[in-house]
Structure 1
Amino acid sequence: MRSKDVTNTQRKRNREASDWLLRNSNPNLSQDERSKFEAWLDSDPENCRTYSAAERLMGDARQAIQSDPGLANIKVTSRSGAKPIVTTLVAAVLATGAFLAFDGPVRLEADVIAESGEMPVITLEDGSDVQLNASSAISIDFTEKRRTVHLLRGQAFFRVATAPGRPFTVEAGETSVTALGTAFDVRYGNTETDVTVTEHAVQIDTVGNSSRSIQVDHDEQAVYDHATRETRVLPVDSLVALAWKRGQLAVDNAPLSAVVDEMNRHFGGHIVITSSMLADRRVSGTIKVADTDDALAFVKKALGVKAIRLGPLIFLR
């Protein structure tokens, strides 16, 4: 876990530095783009410092490539039969991919990051408590008038300290959740954002419902669909919804893809489903997702699948 204090300006600068780093990894970057990059560096001394920090992260990615024989020794042979060479382009693509895989952009923007297998509880400056699910990240933007937490990825449970006249809001993509009470959970997924209220209520504003706010009460869950931009509210058992805090996942007829997404939070490598048909197969039960071996055993028994390990990867077929 790592924390730091950044402002909105610095957060914007971090995103710009990450963007420029990825652009500069292209060996065919145009002279016009290079000039724009130099102008960006010269416009503020902090830009140079932030870009250097991003380069250090890229350096970590390159180092990881060099330490992996399977990546460091990738050869490209010309059609003319010339001896194998390691090309600049391949190196750039690998380093860029590793930078993204190592969460370079998120690490530049986040104030707190929970690594795989971590579920830390932190206390914010106002006394509010936040528990992050594994592989989750937040940035914090507190002012005298507002308290805003950006859920950059993953899931977090919030127990909000009372502060009249100073609203507490969690932003997750297109969803904005403002506390009207004390405790709620936000999960920012790939296809939907889920908000589960365990105490009192929250107000939800989304891009899809910009004309009105939705109030969600305790023991209710709001599900915002990223594709349709529609929100539905349904009753929920908070003990089941918050099973992740105990390292578990309780599902009822859920697709295997959703289960694997949760397993990947706790796994240092990556679990890959080899077919869309398998990804859509349904699973029910309580799964110990924090224990990858136990979770795999559950899935193999429930669906009759095979798990093949290749280094940090596990393929389900």
Structure 2
Amino acid sequence: MNNDDLLDPMHDDHDEAPDPVQAQAASWFARLRAEDVSADDRQQADAWLAAAPEHRAAYQRMQQLWTMLGDFAASAEVDARMPASVPSAQPAAAAPVPPAALAPTRNTTRRPRHRLRWLAASAAALVGVAIGWKMLMPPAQQQYATAPGQQRSFSLDDGTRVDLDTASRLLVHYDAKERRITLQQGRAFFRVAKDPQRPLSVDTDSGSVRAIGTRFEVDRHDGSLSVALFEGKVQLRQTGADGKVIGELTPGQRAQVSGSAVQVHDVSLADSPAWTRGQLVFDEQPLDQAVAEFNRYGGTPIHVDDATLRQLKISGVFHSNDTAGFLDALHAAYRISNRNDGQQIQLYR
């Protein structure tokens, strides 16, 4: 692509329509840099920014691009290619946010009225039409990971909230048409920001989960896939971008997925998984599975060699970082002893 391609409002490698949120961000960015901007304009812009996390993210990307363009944004060649008008924004009602969020990112000394309007139109046109938002999109792929014993909570570019459990890793790939997350290992809890035009998919080697706006947990561990739905509705799909739909979940259900086979059962769920609060909850859980949960969080590994003991059902609520408390409870409630040789903890009776 040459400079003429970048500056031509009709040029679009993929013939994609501008994203409406980004188009609104362009309009506000242009309006707030006009000399005749009013206090009412600023109040409406504040409300639009506060209405949704993706609004603020789109506006911040606009600021970054405007700074990056520098003096090139004021070139005569750009001026010659500007459209006659800038689309108007339709702000949503919301509580105002600090005016600092709208502060210009360049040194805007006073210029004649027509020059400031020209700059505003240039900003919107460059971002909304000529560049087609390609320069404003987040990196093609972002990676997030946690070490054993570590947990992380973070927000993605669209406002989706992710809680990432211990020893987990995921990749995020967003573009104009879809939101894809690959959970490579471990466990994550998603609070998905609604975007009907771009459903969010979480992919694993064992299958995929697709949602628009919902809360769900995906657990990829020991070659298996478990999905629990807390709110909304999700589709379960076979592996791959065009994977076949193999099931759906409603709130209060958990699914075990293996290839095209899906086993669904009802479960009692709170607002979020217990592990996001630092707890491990076992309800008639085989001892070997409970031990595996504790081993996720690091520390001296626990082993159960006795086949009968491995299947013993246990119940209780434990802190994920309190192995000693777990061992004490096993001894008090189930008369299970342990031996620690410094390399591992062996359970026995």
Give TM class, smaller chain: 0.5 to 0.7
Task: Tell me how far 1:110 sits from its aligned partner.
Answer: 8.7
Could you tell me which amino acid in structure 1 is paired with residue 227 of structure 2? V
Task: Tell me how large the CA RMSD over aligned residues is.
Answer: 2.3
- Counterpart in 1 of 2:185? 153
Check 1:153–1:110 CA distance in 2 against 1; reply closer, same or farther (3 A cut): farther
The SS at the match of 1:298 is: helix
Task: Tell me how far 1:164 sits from its aligned partner.
Answer: 2.9
Task: Tell me how far 1:284 sits from its aligned partner.
Answer: 1.6
- Counterpart in 1 of 2:257? 224
Query: Do residues 296 (structure 1) and 296 (structure 2) align?
Result: no
User: Separation in 2 of the partners of 1:277 and 1:302?
Assistant: 17
Query: Do residues 215 (structure 1) and 253 (structure 2) align?
Result: no
User: Separation in 2 of the partners of 1:128 and 1:114?
Assistant: 18
Q: How does 1:51-90 map to 2 (within 5 A)?
A: none
TM-score (structure 2 length as normaliser): 0.54
User: Separation in 2 of the partners of 1:172 and 1:161?
Assistant: 21
Query: Do residues 199 (structure 1) and 231 (structure 2) align?
Result: yes
Check 1:165–1:265 CA distance in 2 against 1; reply closer, same or farther (3 A cut): same
CA contact (8 A) 1:181 1:202 kept: no
Could you tell me which amino acid in structure 1 is paired with residue 158 of structure 2? D
The SS at the match of 1:238 is: coil
User: Separation in 1 of the partners of 2:234 and 2:164?
Assistant: 19
Q: Deviations over 1:214-233 (max 9, x none)?
A: 1111222222247xx52122
- Counterpart in 2 of 1:75? none
Check 1:300–1:113 CA distance in 2 against 1; reply closer, same or farther (3 A cut): farther
Q: How does 1:172-191 map to 2 (within 5 A)?
A: 172-190=204-222
Moved more, 197-206 or 287-296: 287-296
Check 1:192–1:174 CA distance in 2 against 1; reply closer, same or farther (3 A cut): closer
- Counterpart in 2 of 1:314? 345
User: Separation in 1 of the partners of 2:142 and 2:339?
Assistant: 34
Which of 192, 200, 204 is 1:168 aligned to? 200
- Counterpart in 1 of 2:288? 257
Check 1:272–1:301 CA distance in 2 against 1; reply closer, same or farther (3 A cut): same
Could you tell me which amino acid in structure 1 is paired with residue 285 of structure 2? A
- Counterpart in 2 of 1:269? 300
CA contact (8 A) 1:175 1:193 kept: yes
The SS at the match of 1:267 is: coil
TM-score (structure 1 length as normaliser): 0.59
**Percent identity between the aligned chains?**
29
The SS at the match of 1:117 is: coil
Check 1:191–1:284 CA distance in 2 against 1; reply closer, same or farther (3 A cut): farther
How many equivalent residue pairs? 205
Structure 1: any 5+ residue segments left out of the alignment? 1-108
CA contact (8 A) 1:240 1:250 kept: no
Q: Deviations over 1:157-209 (max 9, x none)?
A: 001112232121111221100014221111112263221111111110136xx
Could you tell me which amino acid in structure 1 is paired with residue 198 of structure 2? R
Q: How does 1:99-114 map to 2 (within 5 A)?
A: 111-114=143-146
Could you tell me which amino acid in structure 2 is paired with residue 219 of structure 1? G
Q: More helix per residue: 1 or 2?
A: 1
CA contact (8 A) 1:110 1:152 kept: no
